[in-house]
Amino acid sequence: MEINLDEYFDYYGLSEFLKIPIGSLRHRVKKEKIPHFKIGRSIRFSKQQILLWVNEYKQEGNQTEIKEIGSELYPVSGDSE
């Protein structure tokens, strides 16, 4: 089985992908509020799991939680507030 490394993010890659600060991601990892896994001491995020996580919040109407992840940031839904 071949692993495609493009399907996983580190903090920097996920921060860029979601357009939220790294500090917000670190906080979410610490509080267990974002899907992640460890390889040794490194934290990684599965692109597939992150997309499912974002879609789950959208479907449940929890956009407040998504936006709060990076409250000083940009709306995840693409809306301009």
Q: Per-residue confidence of the chain (81 residues) as pLDDT tens digits?
A: 666 767 999 999 999 999 999 999 999 999 998 999 999 999 999 999 999 998 887 777 665 555 544 444 333 444 433
> Where along the chain do its domains lie?
1-45
- Whole-model pTM? 0.68
* Angstrom distances, CA of residue 71 to CA of 1, 44, 46, 57, 66: 39, 22, 23, 16, 9
